């Protein structure tokens, strides 16, 4: 079986030489273990941070060891009574074709209503991130105008739709291509959307009036523009700053931080893993919205383990609409 190792730590943009595909033998599971054939791997922006040797909210990836990340797969052999061959499971041993894991590190998922890939996107960590951001961090209130950056991505596309369900009167999105902008307005029900390549974000955002809640996936120019366009007592959920993840120098912060004071803005960062207790509530509500067609989602797949690095790099180049995944 094959797995992808981190061969060296990237400086700035990762390059293929930072990764190495390694062929290994997998033993049969011993009691308490389970052997899984991975069918879908997740690539996520937070993995870029783990490639650095820096202290953060998750430890760095080890060199010369398989990378990790969300994955779903099929149980091939089980040394645990609770799991049987053929079961579909979710776990964190991604970036590889097969995984041998302690049974308590896999979760059996129900694929009778949704495809297994949903457990890596809309019904998983990215969806929960959107929900936590708009319920706990920058709560949406009835009648709010909500702005979401990175709006055509895994988190952003759910955030815009959840904002509407939570009572927003107007949802605005920004994304990186005309096709994404069309998807937001024509299919996901965003009231307005723009391509941030078409002109300064602040100027494009101005067209749509004051913003009560900003869900920030991007940072940089987007954050500065949002601060400029926030209403008094506006709330910002600081979720990510993907515009800066491959920078080699610290980027200048928003130049207008005094507006946070003037407008009495609340700007609050969060990490979804601190909010596992919101998961049950989210999955319950999101399951209902999905079933009723009120929550739409999309996935972009690359094919085969050898495409995993490209999928990961593609995330940073905006090649995905919705959740970026690798199908094995």
Q: How far apart are CA 125 and CA 70, in angstroms?
A: 9
CB 52 within 8 A of CB 62: no
Element (H, E) at 128: helix 125-132
CB 326 within 8 A of CB 40: yes
Tokens describing residue 107: 């979760």
Residue among 18, 52, 177, 266 that touches ligand NDP (CB under 6 A): 177
Listing DSSP states for 261-324 in one string gives HHTT-EEEE--GGGGGGGHHHHHHHHHHHHHTT-S---EEEEESGGGHHHHHHHHHTT--SBEE
For position 318 contacting ligand NDP by CB under 6 A, the verdict is yes
Q: Which residues contact 308 (CB under 8 A, 6 or more apart)?
A: 4, 41, 43, 95, 302, 326
CB 217 within 8 A of CB 149: yes
For position 205 contacting ligand NDP by CB under 6 A, the verdict is no
For position 175 contacting ligand NDP by CB under 6 A, the verdict is yes
User: Which letter does DSSP use for residue 32 in this model?
Assistant: T
Residue among 3, 33, 44, 97 that touches ligand NDP (CB under 6 A): 44
Segment lying near ligand NDP (by CB under 6 A), choices 72-80, 111-119, 200-208, 318-326: 318-326
Segment lying near ligand NDP (by CB under 6 A), choices 21-29, 184-192, 291-299, 312-320: 312-320
Residue among 70, 73, 150, 160 that touches ligand NDP (CB under 6 A): 150
Residue among 90, 223, 242, 305 that touches ligand NDP (CB under 6 A): 242
Segment lying near ligand NDP (by CB under 6 A), choices 6-14, 32-40, 43-51, 223-231: 43-51
Segment lying near ligand NDP (by CB under 6 A), choices 9-17, 61-69, 147-155, 279-287: 147-155
CB nearer ligand NDP, residue 232 or residue 274 = 274
For position 254 contacting ligand NDP by CB under 6 A, the verdict is no
CB nearer ligand NDP, residue 128 or residue 265 = 128
| Backbone angle region of 208, left / alpha / beta, with phi > 0 → left and psi within -120 to 50 → alpha | alpha
For position 271 contacting ligand NDP by CB under 6 A, the verdict is yes
For position 159 contacting ligand NDP by CB under 6 A, the verdict is no
Q: Which residues contact 274 (CB under 8 A, 6 or more apart)?
A: none
Residue among 138, 226, 239, 290 that touches ligand NDP (CB under 6 A): 239
End-to-end CA distance of the chain: 12
> CB of residue 49 vs ligand NDP: minimum separation in angstroms?
8
Residue among 29, 66, 70, 126 that touches ligand NDP (CB under 6 A): 126
Listing DSSP states for 224-273 in one string gives HHHHHHEEEEEEEEE---GGGTT-SSPPP--TTTHHHHHTT-EEEE--GG
Task: Provide the greatest CA pair distance for the chain.
Answer: 63
CB nearer ligand NDP, residue 35 or residue 218 = 218
Segment lying near ligand NDP (by CB under 6 A), choices 42-50, 183-191, 225-233, 255-263: 42-50
Residue among 7, 136, 270, 307 that touches ligand NDP (CB under 6 A): 270
* Residues lying near ligand NDP in the complex (CB under 6 A): 44-46, 126, 129, 150, 152-156, 175-177, 180, 217-218, 239-240, 242-243, 270-272, 315-316, 318, 320, 324
């Amino acid at each position: 079986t094959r797995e992808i190792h981190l061969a060296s730590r990237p400086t700035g943009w990762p390059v293929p030489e930072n990764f190495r595909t390694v062929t290994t033998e997998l033993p049969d599971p011993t009691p308490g273990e389970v052997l899984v054939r991975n069918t879908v791997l997740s690539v996520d922006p937070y993995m870029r941070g783990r490639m650095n040797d820096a202290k953060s909210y998750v430890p760095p990836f080890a060199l010369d060891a398989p990378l990790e990340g969300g994955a779903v797969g099929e149980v091939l052999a089980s040394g645990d009574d609770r799991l049987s061959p053929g079961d579909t499971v979710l776990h964190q041993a991604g970036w590889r074709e097969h995984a041998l894991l302690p049974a308590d590190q896999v979760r059996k998922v129900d694929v009778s209503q949704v495809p297994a890939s949903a457990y890596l996107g809309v019904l998983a960590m990215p969806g929960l991130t959107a929900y936590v951001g708009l319920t706990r961090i920058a709560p949406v209130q009835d009648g709010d105008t909500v702005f979401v950056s990175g709006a055509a991505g895994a988190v952003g596309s759910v955030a815009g739709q959840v904002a509407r369900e939570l009572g927003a009167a107007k949802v605005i999105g920004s994304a990186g291509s005309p096709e994404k902008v069309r998807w937001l307005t024509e299919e996901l029900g965003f009231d307005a959307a723009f391509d941030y390549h078409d002109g300064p974000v602040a100027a494009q955002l101005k067209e749509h009036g004051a913003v009560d809640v900003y869900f920030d996936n991007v940072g940089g120019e987007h954050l500065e523009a949002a601060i400029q366009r926030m209403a008094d007592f506006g709330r910002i959920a600081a979720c990510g700053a993907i515009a800066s993840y491959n920078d080699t120098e610290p980027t200048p912060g928003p130049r207008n931080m005094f507006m946070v004071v003037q407008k009495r803005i609340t700007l609050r960062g969060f990490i979804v893993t601190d909010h596992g207790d919101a998961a049950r509530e989210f999955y319950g509500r999101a399951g209902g919205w999905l079933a009723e067609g009120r929550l739409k989602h999309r996935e972009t797949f690359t094919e085969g383990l050898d495409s995993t690095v490209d999928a990961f790099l593609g995330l940073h180049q905006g090649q995905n609409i919705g959740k970026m995944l690798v199908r094995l």
